[in-house]
């Protein structure tokens, strides 16, 4: 199975060397790895050029600095600047892969195996672990069933083409999986693959917690799911972060999008999303109940 990986990066001199080292250690190497420097002001471009000089499958694409970060649309535009540079047109899998990741040597091998054993598996990725603070431990990022986080997105080529690629706006990494599911493709992260996200979403320079949470609210309105589901997400995220400002900023972003009458996804998409959200609620309920029963059983046993 032939992989083409595209990695948009911006000011990643701290972590990009780690990602490059991990990629070079893969048991299955990509046919092509295109690293797109999206206007970095640090030594990111030097790091990319050095890697490209020593490794045939690494290619460098450098974009002008727009002067600011554009979460969502900016990364997708950078992705497509790399996409048009693909030379191996007989690829089987295309990936959008971040430049701040640490991952095991069997990552691409396991991804390839997952696609090979199930022809209907359309989008997959790794299970992410992130730190909430500088001195905190890495914790698993919990996501809804079937969702694949933006930092590691592997698309079967046919699936990628059927969903029309990626939309150029925040929320692209949620819209793609719903569109894939609508067309009968299976999606989801691989529990067997643990990946460390060294610079978690929302911590990049120029973004921060407030903007990240407002963006989440905007995306939730755009996708057109249930309001009650969004409220549950607000509550859950606020409790998880132990910070009520998280929920406040998410709600602020949602209300701003509603007030601006942001164009929403299609009615067909919104209907399918709501159906998915109902299934997710059942999934989370059963998961909580299972964990609760484990705790009760442990207490009784002791």
14-26 confidence digits (pLDDT tens): 999 999 999 999 9
Pairing of strands 3-9, 32-38: parallel
Q: Write down the pLDDT at residue 200.
A: 76
Q: What's the token pair of residue 239?
A: 């409790």
**Cα→Cα distances 10→7, 14, 16, 75, Å:** 10, 11, 10, 9
Sign of the CA dihedral with 27 first, then 166, 274, and 281 last: positive
Q: Which fold has domain 3-206?
A: Spore Coat Polysaccharide Biosynthesis Protein SpsA; Chain A (3.90.550)
220: nearest Cα among 260, 258, 272, 176: 258
End-to-end CA gap in the chain:
50
Q: Where are the domains of the chain?
A: 3-206, 209-301
Judged against a pLDDT cut of 60, whether residue 119 lies above it is answered with yes
H-helix segments, 131-243:
157-162, 172-182, 208-223, 227-241
Instruction: Give the pLDDT of residue 73.
Output: 86
pLDDT digits (tens, 9 = 90+) for 62-118: 999 876 667 678 999 999 999 999 999 999 999 999 999 999 999 999 999 999 999
pLDDT of residue 205: 57
Query: What is the rounded CA–CA span in Å between residue 298 and residue 216?
Result: 38
* 148's tokens: 């694949």
Please report which helix (H) or strand (E) contains residue 82, including its range: helix 73-83
Give the model confidence (pLDDT) of 206-231 as tens digits. Answer: 567 898 999 999 999 999 999 999 99
**Any idea which residue has 């067997």 for tokens?**
192
- Determine the pLDDT at residue 126: 97
What angle separates helix 227-241 from helix 267-301, to the nearest 10 degrees?
40
Q: Which residue has the tokens 């995220």?
A: 237
What would the pLDDT profile of 149-200 be if each residue is shown by its tens digit?
999 999 999 999 999 999 999 999 999 999 999 999 999 999 999 999 998 7
Say how many C-beta atoms besides its own lie within 10 A of residue 49's C-beta: 15
Report the SS3 class of residue 183.
coil
């Amino acid at each position: 199975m032939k992989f083409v990986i595209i990695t948009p990066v911006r000011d990643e001199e701290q972590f990009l060397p780690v990602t490059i080292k991990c990629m070079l250690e893969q048991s299955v190497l990509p046919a092509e790895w295109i690293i797109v420097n999206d206007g970095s002001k640090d030594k990111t471009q030097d790091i990319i050029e050095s890697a490209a000089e020593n490794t045939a499958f690494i290619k460098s694409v450098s974009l002008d600095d727009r002067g600011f970060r554009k979460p969502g649309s900016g990364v997708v535009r950078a992705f497509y600047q790399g996409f048009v540079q693909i030379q191996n047109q007989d690829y089987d899998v295309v990936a959008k892969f971040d430049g701040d990741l640490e991952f095991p040597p069997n990552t691409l091998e396991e991804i390839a195996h997952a696609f090979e054993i199930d022809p209907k598996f359309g989008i997959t990725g790794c299970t992410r672990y992130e730190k909430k603070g500088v001195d905190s431990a890495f914790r698993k990022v919990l996501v809804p069933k079937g969702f694949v986080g933006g930092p590691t997105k592997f698309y079967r080529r046919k699936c990628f083409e059927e969903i029309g690629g990626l939309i150029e706006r925040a929320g692209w990494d949620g819209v793609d999986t719903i569109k894939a599911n609508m067309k009968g493709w299976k999606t989801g992260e691989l529990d067997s693959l643990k990946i460390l996200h060294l610079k978690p979403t929302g911590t990049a320079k120029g973004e921060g917690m407030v903007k990240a949470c407002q963006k989440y609210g905007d995306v939730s309105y755009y996708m057109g799911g249930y309001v009650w589901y969004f409220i549950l997400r607000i509550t859950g995220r606020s409790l998880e972060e132990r910070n009520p400002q998280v929920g406040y900023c998410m709600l602020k972003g949602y209300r701003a999008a509603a007030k601006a009458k942001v164009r929403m996804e299609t009615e067909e998409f919104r209907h399918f999303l709501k159906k998915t959200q109902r299934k997710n609620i059942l999934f989370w309920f059963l998961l909580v109940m299972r964990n609760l029963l484990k705790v009760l059983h442990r207490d009784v046993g002791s």
